[in-house]
Structure formats: structure tokens, C-alpha cells
Amino acid sequence: MKSYQGSEIRNVAVVGHAHSGKTTLVSALLHAAKMTSRLGRVEDGSAVTAYDEEEVSRRTTMQNAVAFAEWNGAKVNLVDTPGFHMFVHEAKAAMLPVEAALIVINAPCGVETMTDRVWKYADEFNLPRVIVLNQMDHPRAAAAVEPALEGLRARYGRQVIPVQLPIANGRGFEGVVDLVTMEAFYYSPNAEGQGKIGEIPAELQASAKAAHEALVELVAEGKDELMEEFFAEGTIAEQHLITALHEAIREDRIFPVLFTSGLANIATDHLLDFLKVYAPAPIERTPVAARAVLTAVSTNGQPLNGPANPEPADGAPEIVMRKVDDSEPVSLYVFKTMTDPFAGRITFFKVFSGVVKNDVTVTNYARRGVERLAHLSIMQGHTAVPVTELHAGDLGAVAKLRDTLTGDTLGDKGHEIFFEPVGLPEPAMTYAIEPKTRADEDKLAPAVHKLMEEDLLVRFFRDPQTNEFLIAGAGQPHIEAIVSKLRRRYHTEVTLKAPKVPYRETIRGRAEGHGRHKKQTGGHGQFGDCKIRIEPMQRGGGFEFINDIFGGAIPRNFIPAVEKGIQESAARGYLAGYPVVDFRVTLYDGAYHDVDSNELSFKMAGRLAFRKCMEQAKPALLEPIMRVEIEAPEEFAGTLMGDLNQRRGRVQGMDSRGSMSSIRAEVPLAEMLSYGANLTAMTQGRGSFRMEMDHYDLVPQPIADKIIANAKRPVQEEEEE
């Protein structure tokens, strides 16, 4: 395998809405470059970047996958990403290691919800964008081109401009007109993807000339030398136009639009040509900001920062700019981890600087460990292609690293830096997960932790209240996919239970309580006596304990026991077994016995005092309120807002972009547990939503009464241990 320099590499994230044909297009690009012998399909598992059993069974991409095409002296690295909203966080993670985003749009459908989402991600990373109207072989595609272009311009500005025109007539999609060279390329459906140059069709000559002039004018804007040439000659020389267009794309002054059919393998070779000529090379990337890592060690040889914490201990970190160049020290950023049943853990990385050679030893700056990069490779889907070295800007992979995980930075010792990992949203939904057998219980935690290495949005933990195992993800389909992987890959059978709403309890009034624990046995007895006052705090205040004892009514060494007893009782709840929060306790009096008093006695007294206070403090239930954003076609906005009102939601605002609406609302989590399926039904599958925890608020009393009545068991605190 040839070793490619940074100037010969193009790194592209293929992003877009679900079912826009991204994976099929990637397969067609690989086939056009003769990297594969056939056109792959997601549904039969033949697509290079859709190799996971779960993806094949669900017929949708669920995780990032990397492939490469060698094309006319260049290496085009393609990161295929999911477009389904439950997995679109993977697309965000793919933005950091690439220099351009290929935004794929289903031509008959135009701009869809996730198109906007991935566009915002590209904005966040300042990535140049190339737009592809795909599935041009569809019967409705030709008529949908102009509406799609109008929608793109309405959302993203006049910088959106075609660099091709589709050749489509009664016989279907036949090719494209290149508006830079003013040549036509014709294709036969399902051929090898190689176009034949011909004359521009007569019916397109006028529109092609007008589109060429519009492109030239937009490219020349703001460039004095180009404007002078344009006014003097009426056009710009082809080579000057190519150079200027490349620069305009790199600077985000132009978002070019191309046309393809991945399914019929039409114009894919022209797309590869375009990426080679116009997409930025890694060495054109502006220097990457990284944090300097403190490397000093203490007298026992341990890092002062501690493992997995590259933050300096003495204030704001120093920012280092690392240039993408072979001459710089080696630095690698890990952007993906995958577990293979045969190869074990596979680590995907971007070489940000330096040259990485096979069998080199590098330092993991975050975890303070040393790793040996044995058997360097580049990935073609799930197939590893061995290489001897990788230059700055390339994407590589290595198997069986000991401690390295996604988001880590590795490199030469003595040149420690840390690239900021991609910030992902928090999980939106939690389910209880129960192993079916004892053997499944033993396998569950190791299996889930391997999946967590692959998907950073997954959380797995034990509920301290119920001792249940909980698993959290982006939504029900996301969690169901995790469960399916547990069964298929790790032979671990589990049962999902309905998600539990993490209610809380609080108080709305002040109260005082007296707790006395007295027990006499044959020897030493037990005696603890305390008086407390509780009062509500502002929402989110948590718990505060104030010691207001004077004169030694309670010895100082017993006061922490009173606080512990109150906290333990609060954790068990009062109304329905949910933790009590947002209250302040003041301990102001008490009594003790020289012989019988001990910590246990005062802990029990604190519990009793707390229970008596709760009787008078107007206890109430709190529920989590989620910040929800719903994106759907404008025609469904009225229905969606009416539905939110029925779910006790409070609409905060609505924005319109073209034909799409974005609704922002605050909705109780209890009303959102089945929202995904309902949204699909209400919007004919064209809507999506995301939500994250915002705050807790009081549950309306009629609903609170039902929750308390339906509690599985009343919380009864034992007065004795």
C-alpha cells in the first residue's frame, strides 16, 4: 500500500439525513475507484461501510465507518456517518478528524431535518461543505432540483451554487454538465461509474452558460484581480477559476452543489475528481488548537495531574497550535473505537502531526500510559489494510491498544498536548436492564462497557435507590440496538423494563421536629435526642446542614451522626420513596447521656426528627422537566404544538426555515417516554426531536396523588437497626 503525503490526502465526512443514500454513495465511489468489485447495498450487508449485523437487520447506518479510495494519485478517506436522529451524534464525532463535509441530500425530498443538524455541526467545526443532490435516478428527482436549490439557498445563503447541471430527460438521469470546464459527462446506469465526455445537450446550453457566469461571478467576488479579469475578459480563465474555486470552498465562501446517483453509479467518478481538486488537503488546514499538558511528577513518580486529567493544576491551560505537518512532533487524536470479535479493540486515529511508523511507541497524554502501535493499518470498512507508515493528515487504525479510548491524544514523549474531544449531548432516556440468568449477569457489565467504548453516548450504572442496573441512551431505538448487540455479539440476554421517571420529593413549608431515640438493655443503653428545624431552599439547592448548637447540648463528635441520619432518611423519601431535595436543616438543641449516647443513637434521633418535620413541612413531588426541540415540516407545526399542550408542555418558541419548523418547549419527562413513536406517526416519519434535562418542578397535585397511590410500597423507615 502506497504511503500518501498530506498534500495527496482528502478527508471527507459523508453526512446527511437518514435514507439520503450516503452508504450507497460511498459504495459507488469505492466501486468507481475500483476499490470494490461490486456496488454494495446496506440491506444485504454488501456495503463496505455497513458491516455490522445490527445495521444490516435495521437497514440503516448506526455508527461511523471509514473507507478509502485511491483516485488519480490522491487518497480520499471517507467517513460514512448515520443520519437517523438517534445516532446522529456519531456524525458530530466525525467532524473533528476531517477537512470537509460531503452533505448528501435526497434529491426528491430536498432539505430534511438532519440536514440542518449536520450543517450546524459543520459550522461548529468551521468545515468546508460540498453538497450532493443524490438519488437523481428517481422519477421525481429532475422536477425537484429547482425547489431543492431554492430551499438550500433559503437556509444557507446565496453561497450555495451549482457547479454542475444534471442531464435528465424522459430516459432518466444520464449525466452532468461541468460548469467549470463546460463539458458534459454521460453515463450508462449500473456501469463502472466512468463517464464519457460529450457535447452539452442543446436544451441545456443556455442554462449552462447562465449558470457558468453566475458561478464565475460568485467566485470572483471580493477578489480584485479576479474581478478585473472578469470585467476585462467577460470570464475567468479555466485554471484561474479552478484555483479560485478551491480557495473559495476552503474559506466557506462557496458551498458547491453536485448531482449523483449512488444506486445507479452515475457521476460518482466526477464527484471523486471534484473532491481531489477542490476539497482542502489536511496540510491546508489552519493549525489545530490543543492544550498543553503538565508533565511534572511528584516525589513518588506519579503525575501531578493524575490519570485521564490533562488539565494543569495551577489554572487555565496553555493553548498550543499544532500544524498539520510531517516535521512536527507526532500527535494522534483517537476519534473512534470499535470492538472486533477476532482482532479485539480497534482504535481509529487522525495523524495531526508527524510521521507514524509501524511498531513505534507513543505516550497516551491523557492516561499517562505508553502504547505500542503494532500492525499499523488503514480501514476499508471492517477490513484492515496493513501500512508501514502514515503521514500527517492521514487516518489510520491499530488493534489491541491497552488503555487508549476515544477522545485520547497520543504522541511523542516530551511534546505533550491534548486535543479537545468532541462534546456530545447527554442521554435522553433511561431504562432498567435486567439479565435473564446468573450467567448473563456475570457477562453484562463487561459487555456493556465494551459497547460504551464504541458509543460515548451510552451510560450504564446502578440506581442507588432500587439497586437496579440502568442503561441510558439517545432514545428507545438507540437502547434497543444496544440490547440487540448484547445478544448478537456477546451472547448476553437481558430484559428491558419500562423507563422510570426519577421523581424527587421536596418541602414547601417550615417545620420543627424533635427526635429522641432511647433504648435500654441489660448493659449500656442507647440515647440520642435532637431538635431540628427544616425549611425549603430554591429549586436545585440540594441539601444544607447548619449546626446551631450552643453550650454543648450535643457533643461535637455526635453532630455528624445527626446529619447522616437525616440524609439517610431523606434518601428513602417520605411520600413515595423518592429522595427529598432542596431543603435546609438547622440543628438547634438536643440532649445526651454520658454513658448511653453514641453515634448510632444520634443517627436514629436525626431520622426520627426528620420524619416528624416532614409531617408538617408540606411535602410535595418534583418531576424532571426536559428541554425539547422538535424539527418537522411546517405543515405539522399546529398538530405538534397541540400535542405538546396535551403533554403538559410549555412552548417556548418556534423558528421557521424554509419549509421546516423548529419548536422549542419544556415538557415533563413522564410525558415524553413514548414520544418518538408518536412523533413518527404525527409527521409521517419526517420529524425528529432531541431533549435534555433542564430542571425539576412541582408535579400537579392530582397527578402526584396517583403517583403516590401507585407507589409499589410505602416507604416506612425502621426506627431500629
Residue ranges of the chain with per-residue pLDDT less than 70: 170, 189-193, 293-317, 428, 464-466, 499, 522, 657-659, 685, 712-721
User: Nearest 5 degrees, angle CA 276-CA 278-CA 283?
Assistant: 80
Q: What is the pLDDT of residues 368-418, one digit of tens each?
A: 889 999 989 999 998 999 999 999 999 999 999 988 999 999 999 888 888
Query: Which spans in 541-659 are helix H?
Result: 559-572, 599-616, 637-646
The whole-number pLDDT of residue 52 equals 80
Element (H, E) at 76: strand 74-80
Sheet of 288-292: strand order equals 319-322, 288-292, 417-418
Give the position of cell 456475570: 442
Structural domains in the chain, CATH included, are 6-283 (3.40.50.300), 288-297+307-418 (2.40.30.10), 429-500 (3.30.70.870), 505-617 (3.30.230.10), 623-707 (3.30.70.240)
CB 291 within 8 A of CB 319: yes
Dist. CA 149–CA 442, nearest whole Å: 55
CB 6 within 8 A of CB 393: yes
Which residues pair with residue 417 across a beta bridge? 292
The whole-number pLDDT of residue 436 equals 93
Dist. CA 672–CA 667, nearest whole Å: 7
Dist. CA 177–CA 161, nearest whole Å: 14
Dist. CA 476–CA 483, nearest whole Å: 11
CB 97 within 8 A of CB 350: yes
Provide the residue type at 248 as one letter.
A
The set of residues, in sequence order, having a beta carbon less than 8 Å from that of 302 and lying 6+ positions away, is none
Provide the residue type at 596 as one letter.
D
Dist. CA 632–CA 116, nearest whole Å: 11
| DSSP string computed for 148-193 | HHHHHHHHH-TTEEESEEEEEETTEEEEEEETTTTEEEE--TTS-S
The residue among 443, 522, 524, 515 whose CA lies nearest residue 485 is: 443
Beta strands in 560-715 (DSSP E): 583-591, 619-633, 650-657, 660-668, 688-698
The C-alpha cell at 381 is: 470498512
Give the position of cell 458534459: 184
The whole-number pLDDT of residue 465 equals 59
Distance between start and end Cα atoms, the chain: 70
The set of residues, in sequence order, having a beta carbon less than 8 Å from that of 323 and lying 6+ positions away, is 287, 288, 353
User: Per the confidence metrics, is the pTM higher than 0.85?
Assistant: no
What are the C-alpha distances in Å from 287 to residues 299, 318, 325, 391, 393? Answer: 36, 15, 9, 16, 12
Question: Counting runs of H as helices and runs of E as strands, what totals does the chain give?
Answer: 16, 37
The residue among 220, 116, 117 whose CA lies nearest residue 161 is: 220
